Amino acid sequence: MESLSNKKKVLEVKPLNFWEKAYLPAIAKGLSITMKHFWKKPVTIQYPEQKREFSENFRGMHSLKRDEEGRERCTACGLCALSCPAEAITMTAGERQKGEENLYREEKYAAVYEINMLRCIFCGLCEEACPKEAIYLDGDIVPSDYLRKDFIYGKDKLVEPPLNQ
C-alpha cells in the first residue's frame, strides 16, 4: 500500500564497530546511571514510622458526624448514595422510637449505613450532596487488609464517638 504523501524516507544504516557489537558502552552508561542514583537521597517514606504530610484538600476515610448534643446528623435521605458515581454507599432507613431522642436528630435515621471502600473513588460528591453535613472525608488513609469483607465499613467504623465520652 502506498503512502498518501508519496514521500519516502530513506534510512541509512551504518555498520556497528566491535565495541558497539559487544554493547560495552551501553552497559557502562547504564552502570553509571545506576551509581548516580545509588548515592542520592531516597524518596521513599518509611510509612509506619514516618507520616506523609497531606494537602488541605486531602480526602481521607469517611466519617459520619454528630451534632453539638451528640446525636447523629444523618437522616437517611439517600442523597449521598444517589450522588456516588461508584455506588459504594448503601443505607437502610429506620424510624426513631420513644426514648431515642438523644441518639438521632430527626424521626428518620440510618439504621444501616455501609460504604464499600474498595468501590469508593474518594471524589467527595457524597460530602457535597449531604444537606445535613453528616458525612465528611476527613479521616486518615484507609488501612490495608487481606479480606474483601473487611473493606465494607459500617456505622461502627464510620460514626465519630460522642463528645461526652
123 marked ligand binding residue: yes
130 marked ligand binding residue: yes
120 marked ligand binding residue: yes
33 marked ligand binding residue: no
| DSSP states of 27-42 | HHHHHHHHHHHHTSPP
**Are 133 and 75 in contact, with CB atoms under 8 Å apart?**
no
74 marked ligand binding residue: yes
- The values of phi and psi at residue 150, to 5°, are -80, -10
Within the chain, strands assigned E span 63-64, 89-95, 108-116, 135-136, 152-153
**Are 157 and 140 in contact, with CB atoms under 8 Å apart?**
no
45 marked ligand binding residue: no
Residue ranges for the binding site?
74, 77, 80, 84, 120, 123, 126, 130
Residue ranges for the binding site for [4Fe-4S] cluster?
74, 77, 80, 84, 120, 123, 126, 130
